[in-house]
Amino acid sequence: MNAISGLHEEALLAERLLARFAELGADPKGGITRPAWSEAETACHDALAEAAAARGLAVHRDAVGNLWLAPEGLGDRPAPACGSHCDSVPQGGNYDGAAGVVAGLLVALRAARAGIALRAVALRAEESPWFGAPYLGTRAAFGLLDPAELAQPRRGDGLPLAACIARAGGDPAAACTGRPLPEIARVTAFWEAHIEQGPVLLDRGLPAAAVTAVRGHLRHPAARCLGEAGHSGVVPRHLRRDPALAVAEFLMDLDTLWARQEQEGADLVLTAGMLSTEPDAATPTRIPGEVAFSLDIRSADPAVLGGMERVLAERAAEIGRRRGVSFALGRAVRAAPVALDPRRAAAIEAALPRPFAMASGAGHDAAEFARNGVPAAMVFLRNAGGSHNPAEAMDIADLMAGVEALWAAIRATGG
Ligand SMILES: [Zn+2]
């Protein structure tokens, strides 16, 4: 087959599989719903397996239901793997995960034709809404589920995780032995294509990007600022202890710092997603006595997160002193950034028509591989309409740009 008709055939296969996945996940309430370890997810695995088998790949399912597609003759030999997940969030879009399993199949078919050892993989259960935790298919394959997690009821039908795995033909006990399944133990490197879930590539007019790291976070889910309640009309400015203005100043200070960090090239995003005065007492005519707020600070750089932690304490103390209020930032939830393999990321970036690399603000299976010591690499695909909603939109041409970059990087690095 010549290169042009080969590309055309690959694009047609990708389009056909993604259309089939959309049918299998169509939610009567809108969008795409493919729960983890559900019939819809299994049906996507089956559609992939059928397309792979028709093109000469061997089909194999591991003990927890992840699907592996390999060139005939590869047997049990170690090799890199390329893929993603088929499950979606409730009423989500069609491309989160699904684009990556289709890319994995296309890369595996190219590898089989070229005599390069590589498997495609469709992982189970990446999305957290179903059992309250992400990357369950990958963690199960590494043998890392907690036995208590197996009792977790699935959102929607309440079926425990153990029963869901068993129903999909898997063995729940294999998910928590503390030892990796043989299939995942023989993965020498993990390559994943995934839609970008933010607007960066769209904004820059780029089809794809190399991913350098998955951001870690410092989160204060329940921070408070305590002041003194009073009548809005009667208390002069210098006698006020107003937590609303204190929190406003605190957030504006963080925003100014963010802008400066961005100028200096540091990776940082910052969100106060919850912000409220006392819900039962607040009125337009009352100086609030307390403001509750949350902070979510993310960066690919642990030093930036550490620096932000010091800034929070310092700004809270200074503003608190000056304004007569006190900040209680409360419990901190921390997750370290996960670096993806720099050599493979550089190879993906170099293979792009317009080289670009960025950090991922969302977690992915690739990060779970990296956390378990398997070198991992990702390519992001341009996506309009945001993610985890029915408006997700990806062009097949952008998926193909991602496949080209993965394929070139796999050959350049030896997988
Ligand atoms: Zn995903």
CATH code of the domain containing 253: 3.30.70.360
Judge if 190 and 155 occupy the same domain. Answer: yes
Q: How far is the CA of 121 from the centre of ligand 1 (A)?
A: 14
Q: How far is the CA of 46 from the centre of ligand 1 (A)?
A: 19
Q: How large is the average pLDDT for residues 104-130?
A: 97
Residues within 5 A (CB) of ion ligand 1:
96-97
Domain stop point among 301, 335, 369: 335
Judge if 327 and 344 occupy the same domain. Answer: no
Q: How far is the CA of 96 from the centre of ligand 1 (A)?
A: 5
Judge if 130 and 22 occupy the same domain. Answer: yes
**Pick from 117, 116, 170, 119: which is nearest to 145 by CA?**
170
Judge if 171 and 297 occupy the same domain. Answer: no
> Which two three-digit tokens encode residue 50?
């059928």
Residue with tokens 């208590």: 148
**What percentage of the chain carries pLDDT values higher than 70?**
99
Judge if 162 and 246 occupy the same domain. Answer: no
pLDDT digits (tens, 9 = 90+) for 162-191: 999 999 999 999 999 999 999 999 999 999
Using pLDDT thresholds of 50, 70 and 90, give the confidence band for residue 4: low
Pair type for strands 79-85 and 119-123: parallel
Q: How large is the average pLDDT for residues 377-405?
A: 96
Q: How far is the CA of 139 from the centre of ligand 1 (A)?
A: 15
In angstroms, the CA 366 to CA 339 distance is: 10
Q: How far is the CA of 106 from the centre of ligand 1 (A)?
A: 18
What letter represents residue 125's amino acid?
Answer: A
Question: Over 90: is that where the pLDDT of 6 sits?
Answer: no
Question: Over 70: is that where the pLDDT of 22 sits?
Answer: yes
Helix axes 342-351, 396-413, angle to 10 degrees: 130
Judge if 187 and 87 occupy the same domain. Answer: yes
- Number of Cβ atoms within 10 Å of the Cβ of 346: 18
In angstroms, the CA 39 to CA 31 distance is: 17
Residue with tokens 């690399």: 357
Q: How far is the CA of 174 from the centre of ligand 1 (A)?
A: 24
In angstroms, the CA 113 to CA 72 distance is: 11
pLDDT digits (tens, 9 = 90+) for 32-62: 999 999 999 999 999 999 999 999 999 999 9
User: What residues make up the domain containing 254?
Assistant: 220-335
Judge if 51 and 187 occupy the same domain. Answer: yes
Q: How far is the CA of 257 from the centre of ligand 1 (A)?
A: 31
Q: How far is the CA of 97 from the centre of ligand 1 (A)?
A: 4
User: How confident is the model at residue 5, as a pLDDT?
Assistant: 75
Using pLDDT thresholds of 50, 70 and 90, give the confidence band for residue 2: low
Judge if 98 and 203 occupy the same domain. Answer: yes
> Which two three-digit tokens encode residue 152?
């977790």
Judge if 256 and 200 occupy the same domain. Answer: no
User: How confident is the model at residue 69, as a pLDDT?
Assistant: 98
CATH code of the domain containing 159: 3.40.630.10
Using pLDDT thresholds of 50, 70 and 90, give the confidence band for residue 7: confident
Judge if 38 and 182 occupy the same domain. Answer: yes
Judge if 205 and 100 occupy the same domain. Answer: yes
In angstroms, the CA 95 to CA 5 distance is: 25
In the chain, how many domains are there? 2
Q: Name, in order, each residue with C-beta under 8 angstroms of 77's C-beta and a sequence gap of 6 or more.
A: 117, 186
DSSP 245-279: HHHHHHHHHHHHHHHHHHHTT---EEE---EEE-T
User: How confident is the model at residue 380, as a pLDDT?
Assistant: 98
- Three-state SS at 61: strand
Q: How far is the CA of 394 from the centre of ligand 1 (A)?
A: 14
Q: How far is the CA of 381 from the centre of ligand 1 (A)?
A: 12
Give CA 403 to chain center in angstroms. 19
Domain stop point among 304, 335, 366: 335
Question: Over 80: is that where the pLDDT of 3 sits?
Answer: no
Question: Over 60: is that where the pLDDT of 105 sits?
Answer: yes
> Which two three-digit tokens encode residue 385?
């309409």
Judge if 63 and 195 occupy the same domain. Answer: yes
